[in-house]
Amino acid sequence: MKTTAKAPANIAFIKYWGKNNEKLRLPANSSISMNLSGAFTTTSVEFDERFKKDTFFLNDVVAKQEEANRISKHIDLIRSIAKITTRAMVVSKNNFPKGVGIASSASGFAALTVAASKAAGLNLSEKELSILARLGSGSACRSIPDGFVEWKMGNSSNKSYAHSLFEPNYWNIYDLIVVVGENSKKVSSTEGHAIAESSPFYKTRIVGMEEKIKEIKLAMKNRDFTRFGKILEAEAVNMHTVMMTSAPPLYYWYPETLNVMAKVIGFRERGIECYFTIDAGPNVHVICQGKNYLKLKRKILGIDGIKSVLINKAAEGAKIIRNE
């Protein structure tokens, strides 16, 4: 059976950096995110007895060995649940650059989980899919439910999953992804998580997380964009402070990253309310209200060093788009 699924990348407003359990990918804190309408992965998985081995294609080329091993491990997990041994062909494509801090592993493993589990004959619940996706890539669990999402950290595998806080149409806000770099980062998020605790600021960050999540959920409930924006912008700087003070330090920002951050602050001071957030990469997510996104896009495209601007609203989570 062959199944094709589509899953969005997501942008974390409250981020997770550091794990309580590496094997199970249990995060050190809960997180809040939004699924992205314009950044997604489409993945087809086919199990067939005629296949002598697993084959993985990513963006029209055979997957590199490290990537193939990670995909194979996830497929093996799904095969064990489905109680099958059939080999698979996986064909996956992103519509955005991978490995540059736009959550390509999140959309990739969410799409892989949904497509492979269905192709293997499983009918899993959203919670079960979220847990399974998390085992492939932590943030992939957030790309399973719709819209605005909370990933509960949990203290066991069955309690660490994501669920929808609000549907996609709940709030008319946009994420303008300002692409300043398209090369894969030298240090992966997985490697970064492993050294997070070496930062002297790590424990302080974790202690303040529960209150921060309460505050941003209240701001989202009330659609208080100003309060929401201040929290998410401070949170991005907080996480990167931990990254930059870990051992060894991680510097994901480019000079263009800092320039865009400064421009966003300037736009805000001149009356166009917007805020920045940045995941583990150089590219800046500019969060704004729907009434301002076109004006902001024009201004951002005028900044030196900008390669492109990807426009996103809140989106549905991972979905099956075809069964064959």
Q: What is the dihedral of CA 257, 261, 264, 265, to 10 degrees?
A: -160
Same domain assignment for residues 17 and 56: yes
Same domain assignment for residues 154 and 18: yes
Expressed as residue numbers, the domain containing 200 is: 172-312
- State how far the Cα of 20 lies from the Cα of 169, in Å rounded to an integer: 34
Same domain assignment for residues 216 and 246: yes
Same domain assignment for residues 162 and 209: no
Same domain assignment for residues 303 and 185: yes
H or E element in which residue 255 lies: helix 255-269
Same domain assignment for residues 138 and 186: no
- State how far the Cα of 190 lies from the Cα of 151, in Å rounded to an integer: 18
Same domain assignment for residues 162 and 178: no
Do 150 and 31 contact (CB within 8 A), yes or no? yes
Q: Which of 11, 85, 78, 10 is nearest to 48 (CA)?
A: 85
Same domain assignment for residues 206 and 296: yes
Same domain assignment for residues 237 and 181: yes
Structural domain total, the chain: 2
Residue 317 lies in a domain: no
Same domain assignment for residues 157 and 218: no
> The domain spanning residue 214 has which CATH number?
3.30.70.890
pLDDT tens per residue across all 324 residues of the chain: 899 999 999 999 999 999 999 999 999 999 999 999 999 999 999 999 999 999 999 988 998 898 899 999 999 999 999 999 999 999 999 987 665 556 588 999 999 999 999 999 999 999 999 999 999 999 999 999 999 999 999 999 999 999 999 999 999 999 999 999 877 677 888 889 999 999 999 999 999 999 999 999 999 999 999 999 999 999 999 999 999 999 999 999 999 999 999 999 999 999 999 999 999 989 999 999 999 999 999 999 999 989 899 999 999 999 999 988
| pTM, two decimal places | 0.94
